[in-house]
Structure 1
Amino acid sequence: MSGFVNGKPMSKMLVDGGAAINIMPMTTFRKLGKTANELIKTNMILRDYGGGTSEAKWVLNVELTIGSKTLPMTFFVIDGKGAYSLLLGRDWIHANCCIPSTMLQFLIQWIDDQVEVVPAD
């Protein structure tokens, strides 16, 4: 997916219904031009499907725009570089009231009484 984080264009966002939370790699955080004082410290341990663990050291609140819908979102920031710029988990899916389709490669979201279809990259 593509969209905007705090008004800055962002591509390579992965919607993952198997992930409970939203994740941002430190490389994406740096590209946003954010400062360290905008990060909130945390020590959450994340566990992947294979049982491996990694630590999310920080939390960041941003405005995330996908299609024509903008929502405030919280991301756990991990040290390092990810394969995607952002991972959007069930936290975002439920807050956005959307239906992601991996088979059809698009996202259906509601805006008031209208349906918007957002194609994947």
Structure 2
Amino acid sequence: MSATVVESLPDEGNEVNELGVPQAAERDDQSWELMRVWVAERGLHCALKVGVYESEGIGEERAWGIVLADAARHLADAVSSFTGRDRDAALSAIRLSMEDELNKPTSRKEGAFRD
């Protein structure tokens, strides 16, 4: 993945506090959204587009692993830019936190997929 839109604080004029669409996605009429993540009602809520890669003969697990790793790198860049901390140290801390959360979740996952 290449450049990303990084917003550090909610947009005051945006009543639902959603992030803007990256400019590349606005320019590309073949772009699609893969994931949307919200904090609401004191929990994390996700909308995921699953099946896009499988229909192209690519395993969803592999594809989503790459997407999440790319997102972690973008996040490390954003954290480094926002806080001044070292990018590699930020990525290491993100990776450790992800491994800890995967191994010992701090909350239950609830809900189901819907169309």
Q: Indicate the TM-score class for this superposition, using the shorter chain for normalisation.
A: under 0.3
Considering Cα pairs closer than 8 Å and 6+ residues apart, tell me whether 1 or 2 has the greater RCO. 1
Give the strand-richer structure, 1 or 2: 1
Structure index of larger Rg: 2
Give the helix-richer structure, 1 or 2: 2
Alignment TM-score, normalising by the size of structure 2: 0.28
Alignment TM-score, normalising by the size of structure 1: 0.27
